[in-house]
């Protein structure tokens, strides 16, 4: 009996060994590289070096070519002499419309996308539809589906790492939200105590460079825009998620026709006093005073500027903001006589005040004004978030006819109107309907804003009504050097400072309870792009579908692109190159465009086994061995366990 048991054990062990060998599935590359690819870059080679290392593990040899900018662009647009390219895109991130990149006729179609590539026609139909869907949530779902299609079935890119910008505040300040910015955060902000170096609790101190031009039609620097934003709320509010919301002057809109939208302005919004502050200084009397009856009066009516149209002034309560101001603003932005950015408003083919409701206006749009057909276009919403301009002050009664960039007949905005006293003074002494009024400024030193009692009180972030402003004054100090700004902040002379340029200082502040460091994603998307024209990653293999069960909807070249994506360890690159602080992007839209960015899209997280599996189904890797216990292994172990149990019982 003992001899039989020993014999059975030996047989079982042999079966177990055989089953372990038979059940293996190790993936092993061929002896020679399976492909030679060319990667072009313009800039540092850090990313290229890591990608080369990762692809080597797949048996792919990578040649890295660093090109000058002119040769780099020529390769992308003309010669297409590359397999892979490291590049990034930046367009403000306000729109999910990326047809310029991901359509066959797109001006920046570096990938070779065409109707010959499976699923590309479906992708283009979805993209075209997305620019005509007005309902935000319907459009969001459509773009979610499109991103999944592109990143799963086409794969023209592997998104990489998105950088962040940082600001630091003293922790005594509550309610500030970096993504919303100062102007929109102010109704929610307050100080719950004095921080180090601070003397006055209800004044806000910040730094910027010298502003240049306060008329937003000519503003092209951030410092000037920040001054204007404190004076004027947007007509249409735009959220940090990159969608229009109903908390600005526009409180609602409706689609009348496929290219016709009607907008409604809120009532009881008034222009702040039309002060000329060019001669004011620190010793001047207050702009306004409060009477015993609680009514605010202009302290010095002599500094109120008269309007161009009818010689009227604004005292804070007599000039209401109406639809004519909104229509005038958009016509001014699109008129060559007074605007330097007319091209961004050429989509407006008609605009007018509602004939019945003076707080409503109509806009007709054309997605492509260069063609005779009227094409629907939704993304014009992102171009309506201008601060409103005072029509009574800047418009005229001149009968000369001029035209907008969209071909709209316009009266009043005649040639040379920008040289009138009103236009010239507005560039140095703007006024709006916003939270603060320009008080005075000292060139190369400081600009002071004073809280407006005439502001309408609607919070931009959530539409809360009857909001108050904690800060009496906003003091913008002229500090052009970032290090000097940081030193002033650390000394307590400023309440906020940018710290993006100083990563070590920022990390110290993040660990210090005295500070509140906030970040925001840049509107930039770096990625590794595939040239789908080239063999191995594209070419004729775009037409060969896989026969592997469960993968028949993918092509041979798509499988290769998936393998490359899975083989690249973006987490390690982020840690080694960016100290782990960048966001790893996963989709073909900017993560900055948060409302439309699909975070649940297929993710190519580092997985070398998956990479090799996709190369295997594409026919580039042999299947051999790995330590995987199969069914026969489990059966042999079970027989062995039963034999041991029987032996123990008989020995008792």
Q: pLDDT digits over 407-461, tens only?
A: 999 999 999 999 999 999 999 999 999 999 999 999 999 999 999 999 999 999 9
- The burial of 98, by beta-carbon neighbours within 10 Å (0-12 exposed, 13-18 middle, 19 or more buried), is given as buried
Instruction: Give the range among 151-165, 517-531, 627-641 with minimum mean pLDDT.
Output: 627-641
Q: How far is CA 468 from CA 236, 434, 600, in A?
A: 21, 13, 40
Q: How many residues does the chain have?
A: 652
Instruction: Give the H or E element holding residue 623.
Output: strand 622-623
Task: Find the mean pLDDT for residues 629-640.
Answer: 43
pTM of the model: 0.86
Closest CA to 351 of 319, 320, 383: 383
Q: How confident is the model at residue 90 (pLDDT cuts 50, 70, 90)?
A: confident
> What phi-psi label fits residue 58: left (phi over 0), alpha (psi between -120 and 50 degrees) or beta?
alpha
**Token pair recorded at residue 22:** 């038979």
**Token pair recorded at residue 548:** 């592997």
Query: DSSP state, 98?
Result: -
In this predicted model, what pLDDT tens digit does every residue of 302-343 receive, in sequence order? 899 999 988 899 999 999 999 999 999 999 999 999 998 888
Q: How confident is the model at residue 94 (pLDDT cuts 50, 70, 90)?
A: confident
Closest CA to 383 of 359, 433, 347: 347
**Token pair recorded at residue 432:** 């709006």
Helix, strand, or coil (residue 528): strand
User: Rounded CA gap, 251 and 245, in Å?
Assistant: 8
Instruction: Give the range among 463-477, 578-592, 620-634 with minimum mean pLDDT.
Output: 620-634
Q: How confident is the model at residue 44 (pLDDT cuts 50, 70, 90)?
A: confident
Examine the pLDDT at 644 and tell me if it is beyond 60: no
Q: How confident is the model at residue 607 (pLDDT cuts 50, 70, 90)?
A: very high
User: Rounded CA gap, 454 and 318, in Å?
Assistant: 11
Looking at per-residue pLDDT, the higher value among 478 and 374 belongs to 478
Output the 3-class SS for 304-337. ECCCCCCCCCCCCCCCECCHHHHHHHHHHHCECC
User: Rounded CA gap, 190 and 433, in Å?
Assistant: 22
Q: How confident is the model at residue 292 (pLDDT cuts 50, 70, 90)?
A: low
What is the pLDDT of the chain when averaged over all its residues?
Answer: 89
User: Rounded CA gap, 450 and 408, in Å?
Assistant: 38
Helix, strand, or coil (residue 148): helix
Longest Cα separation, the chain: 120
Q: Which residue has the tokens 């503003």?
A: 219
Dihedral sign of CA atoms 612, 614, 620, 625 in order: positive
Helix, strand, or coil (residue 405): coil
Query: DSSP state, 194?
Result: P
User: Rounded CA gap, 612 and 84, in Å?
Assistant: 19
Task: Find the mean pLDDT for residues 159-169.
Answer: 97
Please report the pLDDT score of residue 649 as a whole number.
44
Q: How confident is the model at residue 156 (pLDDT cuts 50, 70, 90)?
A: very high
């Amino acid at each position: 009996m003992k001899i039989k048991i020993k014999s059975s054990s030996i047989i079982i062990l042999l079966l177990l060994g055989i089953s372990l060998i038979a059940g293996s599935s190790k993936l092993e590359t061929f002896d020679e590289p399976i492909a030679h690819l060319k990667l072009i870059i313009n800039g540092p080679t850090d990313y290229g070096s890591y990608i080369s290392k990762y692809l080597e593990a797949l048996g792919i040899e990578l040649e890295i070519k660093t090109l000058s900018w002119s040769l780099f662009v020529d390769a992308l647009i003309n010669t297409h002499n590359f397999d892979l390219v490291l590049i990034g895109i930046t367009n403000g991130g306000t729109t999910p419309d990326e047809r310029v990149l991901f359509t066959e006729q797109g001006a920046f179609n570096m990938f070779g996308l065409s109707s010959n590539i499976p699923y590309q026609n479906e992708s283009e139909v979805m993209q075209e539809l997305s620019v005509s869907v007005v309902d935000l949530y319907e459009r969001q779902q459509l773009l979610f589906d499109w991103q999944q299609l592109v990143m799963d079935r086409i794969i023209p890119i592997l998104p990489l790492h998105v950088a962040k910008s940082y600001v630091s505040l003293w922790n005594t300040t509550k309610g500030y939200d970096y993504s919303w910015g100062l102007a929109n955060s102010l109704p929610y902000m307050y100080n719950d105590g004095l921080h180090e170096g601070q003397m006055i609790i209800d004044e806000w101190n910040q730094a910027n460079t010298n502003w240049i031009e306060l008329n937003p039609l000519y503003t092209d620097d951030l410092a000037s825009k920040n001054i204007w934003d404190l004076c004027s709320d947007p007509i249409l509010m735009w959220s940090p998620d990159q969608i229009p919301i109903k908390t600005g002057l526009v409180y609602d809109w409706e689609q009348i026709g496929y290219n016709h939208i009607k907008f409604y302005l809120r009532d009881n919004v008034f222009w702040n006093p039309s002060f000329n502050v060019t001669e004011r200084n620190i010793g001047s009397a207050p702009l306004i005073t409060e009477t015993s009856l609680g009514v605010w009066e202009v302290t010095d009516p002599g500094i109120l500027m008269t309007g161009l149209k009818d010689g009227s002034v604004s005292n804070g309560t007599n000039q209401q903001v109406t639809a004519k101001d909104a229509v005038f603003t958009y016509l001014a932005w699109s008129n060559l006589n007074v605007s330097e950015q007319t091209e961004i408003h050429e989509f407006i083919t008609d605009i007018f005040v509602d004939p019945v409701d003076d707080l409503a206006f109509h806009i007709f749009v054309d997605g492509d004004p260069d063609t005779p057909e009227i094409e629907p276009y939704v993304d014009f919403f992102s171009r309506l978030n201008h601060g409103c301009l005072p029509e009574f002050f800047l418009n005229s009664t001149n009968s000369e006819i001029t035209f907008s960039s969209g071909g709209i007949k316009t009266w009043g905005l005649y040639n040379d109107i920008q040289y009138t006293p009103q236009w010239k003074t507005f560039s140095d002494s703007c006024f709006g309907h916003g939270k603060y009024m320009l008080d005075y400024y000292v060139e190369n030193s400081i600009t002071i804003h004073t809280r407006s009692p005439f502001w309408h009180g609607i919070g931009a972030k959530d539409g809360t009504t009857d909001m108050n402003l904690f800060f009496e004054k906003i003091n913008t100090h002229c500090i052009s050097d970032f290090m000097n700004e940081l030193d002033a902040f650390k000394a307590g002379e400023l309440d906020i400072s940018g710290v993006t340029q100083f990563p070590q200082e920022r990390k110290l502040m993040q660990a210090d309870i005295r500070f509140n460091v906030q970040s925001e994603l840049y509107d930039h998307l770096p990625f590794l792009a595939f040239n789908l024209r080239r063999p191995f990653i594209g070419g004729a293999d775009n037409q060969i579908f896989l026969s592997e069960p469960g993968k028949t909807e993918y092509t041979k070249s798509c499988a290769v692109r998936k393998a490359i994506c899975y083989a690249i360890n973006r987490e390690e690159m982020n840690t080694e190159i960016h100290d782990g602080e960048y966001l790893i992007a996963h989709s073909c839209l900017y993560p900055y465009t948060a409302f439309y960015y699909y975070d649940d899209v297929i993710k190519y997280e580092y997985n070398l086994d998956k990479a090799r599996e996709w190369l295997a189904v594409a026919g580039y890797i042999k299947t051999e061995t790995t330590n995987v216990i199969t069914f026969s292994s489990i059966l042999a172990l079970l027989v062995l366990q039963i034999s041991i149990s029987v032996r123990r019982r008989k020995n008792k």
